[in-house]
Amino acid sequence: MATATARNTDTVRTEIRGGIGVITLGRVTALNALTTEMVEAIDAALAEWENTGLRAVVLDSASPKAFCAGGDIRAVQENSLAGDREASERFFSTEYRLNARIAGYPAPFISLIDGICMGGGMGLSVHGAFRVVSGNATLSMPETGIGFFPDIGASYFLSRLPGALGVYLGLTGARMSAADALYTGLATHFIDSESIRLVPAALADHPHRPVEEILRALGSPSPVADSALAEQRGQIDWCFSARTLAEIDERLAAAGGDWAATTRNTLAGLSPQSLQLTLELLAWGKQRALRECLAAELQVTRDVIRTPDFIEGIRAALVDKDRNPTWSRSRFAGLDSDGLPRWKH
């Protein structure tokens, strides 16, 4: 099949191969951490292709280690310290617009997750029709560890996971293996690392076969039986179905055992402000549409990125890298009826 190049940048390559749109993330040295320019390039390609009759769009990565390690959140912190609210607003509004576009895209949207997929990387993948993982895949929403909150529509998709899995994943930032992602439904197919790269060519070479059929044909036996989340499901559902953080902690203490003790210790080291905000957003988002959740999350980011916990969380994780944040006493006072945070004065 002939290959026609639509547009290329240093960090995003887009092309059409035999009726299949292919977008490749290429900011390899930064594990494809998303910049505003990258998000704009992906969004522009999708907008250009939207009414061209493509059979599918594939999003993959040139990195051997990562699909996408999330948004370039250190740049957001630098914008906050510099008082450049416009730059941060542009990043988040563009990113969330892209999330919504992927969710409603007319052609099947397929993400090939062969490595790290965190935060913004989840936003690029989970809203699409097909999320293919390899044995190298690691997925997570680790925002509470940096004084932020699970965004990119997480108040929508985490709140709809079975039982209390979404609350557990959103609060703790726990890392999911390929088996865990398949168990939760955040991933749809498993293909080994050697074969996952064959997906675009297989789709282009078989124009009359359904996408689902092609992915299944390339697939390997599912590792879902090895899911640690499945093994811990009973404890997760009991502990994280509690209505408050204090009650979650009480249930973890009562549960006993290594998993509960480790989870309790993890929560104790995370931003109290972020934990409370996340818990309330997930409860609120369960009754809202995706676009409502994204709109609320955009409003929330405007406040959160200026809080001491966010500035401190990024410092500890990405600037000084001492992994020892000193969290402030929470100024968060709960959500209003529109899902927007109220702050103590």
The residues annotated with a catalytic role in the active site are: 71, 120, 143, 151
Amino acid identity of 86?
E
- H/E element, 342: strand 341-343
- H/E element, 111: strand 109-113
- H/E element, 67: strand 66-68
Residue in this structure with the two tokens 């931003």, named with its chain if needed: 271
Residue 193 burial class via C-beta count within 10 angstroms: exposed 0-12, middle 13-18, buried 19 and up: middle
Q: Could you give phi then psi for residue 158, rounded to 5 degrees?
A: -70, -35
Bridge partners, 204 (sequence order)? none
Residue 125 burial class via C-beta count within 10 angstroms: exposed 0-12, middle 13-18, buried 19 and up: buried
DSSP structure string for 251-289: HHHHH-HHHHHHHHHHHHTS-HHHHHHHHHHHHHHTTS-
Q: How far apart are CA 344 and CA 37, in angstroms?
A: 35
